[in-house]
Amino acid sequence: MLSADTVTQIAAELAEADRTHSVIPRITARYPEATVEDSYAIQGVWRDSQITAGRRLVGRKIGLTSKAMQQATGITEPDYGVMFDDTVYESGAEIPVDHFSNVRIEVELAFVLKHPLEGPDCTLDDALAAIDYAVPALEVLNSHIELEGRTIVDTISDNAAYGAMVLGTVHKRPDEIDLRWVPGVLSRNGEIEETGVAAGVLGHPATGVAWLANKFHQHGARLEAGEIILAGSFTRPVWVSRGDQVLCDYGPMGTIACRFI
């Protein structure tokens, strides 16, 4: 495992890369002995520095929960990161590409909790009971570590590659809709790029919420009421550039539109 000084140094490098919208060399190329536990320690030091600087945590993102995303990244287990209030956009937003590095988007559902959720034996039914509502979301990926050869350790250290999210306007309680069959048809500049259904996320998109609650229990923590949980993509990531218009149709859950400027 990495020393505390090394963990702090890498977290500072990532904070600077976030500030300057740049990338750093792969952690695993410099520290091949780094473990998944090290990567969450790096993420934690970075997270705490951001909170100290005045950012407000509003939720958690879960990643790599679908076969599509695992195949796209070569990584075979889920991961998680944190989301701050200044990374949340509404449908119709104009999003500056200069705020990010290696800009890609993914199709997801997000969940807002009405009750705390705690492991160690949290089930899908427990997660559904704790969820206030589901809302469609696009995730903007943002990598501060060079992509080639990246491993799960690099990704987790880099806040699970989270950059921002764009939320839709249609809210559905879990008992109002079969969340497994929410579709996503993602278009860029009028051309369909990706399609999928939410069941691609662990068989049910809320399964990841239960997984995260159980994972948090291992660290003596829980998911809190009011938190937004971004559940993971059910399509592959789509690259976007300045000037791109993005539209995603979620069928009965409406649409999300945004433009990258």
pLDDT in tens, 200-243: 999 999 999 999 999 999 888 999 999 999 999 999 999 999 99
Backbone angles phi, psi at 112, to 5 degrees: -110, 130
**Helices (runs of H) and strands (runs of E) counted in the chain:** 7, 13
Are 217 and 120 in contact by the 8 Å Cβ rule? The answer is yes
pLDDT of residue 219: 82
Are 166 and 256 in contact by the 8 Å Cβ rule? The answer is yes
Catalogue all structural domains in the chain, each as residue range(s) with its CATH number.
Answer: 57-260 (3.90.850.10)
Tens of pLDDT, residues 240-256: 999 999 999 999 999 99
- What is the DSSP-derived secondary structure letter of residue 111? E
Tens of pLDDT, residues 82-92: 999 999 999 99
Query: Given a cut of 80, is residue 190 above it in pLDDT?
Result: yes
Tens of pLDDT, residues 25-41: 999 999 999 999 999 99
pTM listed for this prediction: 0.94
Name residue, tokens 């993420």. Answer: 43
Task: Please state, as a whole number, how many other Cβ atoms lie within 10 Å of the Cβ of residue 58.
Answer: 17
Q: Of all helices (H) and strands (E), which one includes residue 72?
A: helix 67-73
